[in-house]
Amino acid sequence: MAATCLAVLATTCLAVLWCIWDPVKEALLGCLGTSVTDIVSPLRERAVEGITSRTVLWGNRIQRLPSSTPSMVGREQLLSDIQGLLKGDKKGIIGLYGVGGVGKTTLLKEINNQLLESRDNPFDVVVWVTVSKDTAVFKIQEDIGVRLGFSRAGEGRSRQLPTDEHDRRLALHEALFGKKFLLLLDDMWEAVDLESVGVPHPSNGAKIVLTTRSRDVCVEMEADEKVKVDCLNETGSWELFCSKVGDAVDLNKDPVIRLLAESVVRKCGGVPLALITVGRAMSVETSIREWEKAVLSLSQSPKGIRGMEKHVLSVLKFSFDRLVDESTKQCLLYCSLFPEDHIIHVDKLIELWVGEGFLDSDSGNHTSLYEARTKGESIIKTLKNACLLEDGGYTSVRLHDLV
């Protein structure tokens, strides 16, 4: 009975307080010259802003990337292997390396575009960044940020990427942390400190895939899997070349042109960029004479082929220019004195380099045979990691056909 009375009394008191609170509340707000809406709306907006600042406003999880090569000729198995690595949990960072023009970027674009078409895409977001040479951390942060829904500095829209480097890093890290992201870093020339960018170490199924011309970059980026993108084999090279020559030239009609075309393909060394460039240049040539000239040009001066200097030789020259020092460049140039496809024994090559003085100390003084050999082995490793020299078998190397 007492409990019931207390309950009734409490209910009555609350009802009275509720009745008198409304006019009192309005009177107080009237004195302040505002309304409930004026106070509540900003608070609600701030609450929403606080929530969205911790949420990635991605829109589309993935964006289609244009590709000049619609099909992955000769790359089907490699593409399948990489897709398998993306599905597993053990490999967080995957490095793809190979000589310039071998098709690393095309492969990365195909990975991106196939995920777009896949019904079981496991990633929350896929981010593409072209790193290239001398790219600043800010530019990488900005490209990632824009993909995550931030606006670029100075655009004047809401949710701008912070201008302070530390704040940018924190904003990106907060947006990506705990998410199943796929970060595609194309054309890396040197290692990038992902922590300084704001990219968390991939976990929870997140992945990072990078492309580079140097295996050393894969090592410095602590790639869990290092995949060499080799040149195409003879069958793949011929198939890609024929697809670019097109139907205007029937390579099977004239046996002489067929033999010359096969020679042209061999001169391209299995490099897709060279095969595509030369194939397009020869797509209108139906005379034996023009095909003979193409073989001669590729043997003596590839610049004679339309598009070769701009699209292919410039790529190889850039790799050459990025070598660490003059000694390494001289050693590579010396290898070009050997006949095409010649297998060069490492011991003999180092002896020849010593005789030319390429392995002398920086001061110009002669070094001991042990020091010279150590330096020579280091240079060979550098050239192989840059994909300018290839393994020729046991303790031997060979210069790439196109180089």
Report the percentage of the chain scoring pLDDT > 90. Answer: 40
Q: Mean pLDDT of all residues in the chain?
A: 80
Question: Would residue 98 count as lying in a domain?
Answer: yes
89 and 220 in a single domain? The answer is yes
Quick check: pTM over 0.85?
Answer: no
Q: What is the pLDDT of residue 16?
A: 44
Number of other residues whose CB lies within 10 A of the CB of residue 75: 21
265 and 294 in a single domain? The answer is yes
Q: What is the pLDDT of residue 104?
A: 92
Residue 311: pLDDT band with limits 50, 70, 90: low
Q: What is the greatest pairwise CA distance in the chain?
A: 116
Question: Would residue 35 count as lying in a domain?
Answer: no
162 and 306 in a single domain? The answer is no
222 and 252 in a single domain? The answer is no
Whether residue 49 has pLDDT greater than 60: no
Residue 403: pLDDT band with limits 50, 70, 90: low
Whether residue 17 has pLDDT greater than 60: no
The Cα-based distances of 204 to 96, 110, 385, 400 in angstroms read: 22, 24, 31, 40
Q: What torsion do the CA atoms of 263, 269, 272, 278 make, to the nearest 10 degrees?
A: -40
The packing angle between helices 36-52 and 2-32, to 10°, is 90
Give the residue carrying structure tokens 């931030």: 150
114 and 224 in a single domain? The answer is yes
pLDDT in tens, 65-99: 877 665 678 889 999 999 999 988 888 999 999 98
244 and 378 in a single domain? The answer is no
200 and 222 in a single domain? The answer is yes
Question: Would residue 23 count as lying in a domain?
Answer: no
pLDDT in tens, 140-182: 999 999 889 887 766 655 678 888 888 999 999 999 998 999 9
Q: What SS3 class is residue 196?
A: helix
Q: What is the pLDDT of residue 39?
A: 45
Q: What is the pLDDT of residue 132?
A: 80
Question: Would residue 267 count as lying in a domain?
Answer: yes
309 and 330 in a single domain? The answer is no
The packing angle between helices 272-281 and 234-245, to 10°, is 30
- Cβ contacts of 201 within 8 Å, gap of 6 or more: 92, 194
Domain that holds residue 281: 234-313
191 and 308 in a single domain? The answer is no
What's the structural domain count of the chain?
A: 3
User: Which of the pair, 139 or 387, is modelled with greater confidence?
Assistant: 139
Question: Would residue 136 count as lying in a domain?
Answer: yes
Whether residue 200 has pLDDT greater than 80: yes
Domain boundary pick from 261, 292, 313: 313
Whether residue 50 has pLDDT greater than 80: no
- The mean pLDDT value for 251-272 works out to 90
Question: Would residue 24 count as lying in a domain?
Answer: no
Question: Would residue 365 count as lying in a domain?
Answer: yes
Question: Would residue 36 count as lying in a domain?
Answer: no
Domain boundary pick from 257, 279, 313: 313
Whether residue 219 has pLDDT greater than 60: yes
Q: Are 282 and 245 in contact (CB under 8 A)?
A: yes
- The mean pLDDT value for 215-225 works out to 95
Domain boundary pick from 269, 294, 313: 313
194 and 298 in a single domain? The answer is no
Q: Is 287 left (phi over 0), alpha (psi -120 to 50) or beta?
A: beta
pLDDT in tens, 98-121: 988 889 999 999 999 999 888 888
Give the whole-angstrom CA distance, residue 394 versus residue 386.
Answer: 19
185 and 271 in a single domain? The answer is no
Considering only CA atoms, which of 105, 400, 117 is closest in space to residue 276?
105
Question: Which CATH number does the domain housing residue 348 bear?
Answer: 1.10.10
156 and 286 in a single domain? The answer is no
Whether residue 290 has pLDDT greater than 50: yes
Q: Are 340 and 401 in contact (CB under 8 A)?
A: yes
Give the whole-angstrom CA distance, residue 267 versus residue 241.
Answer: 12
Q: What is the pLDDT of residue 156?
A: 57
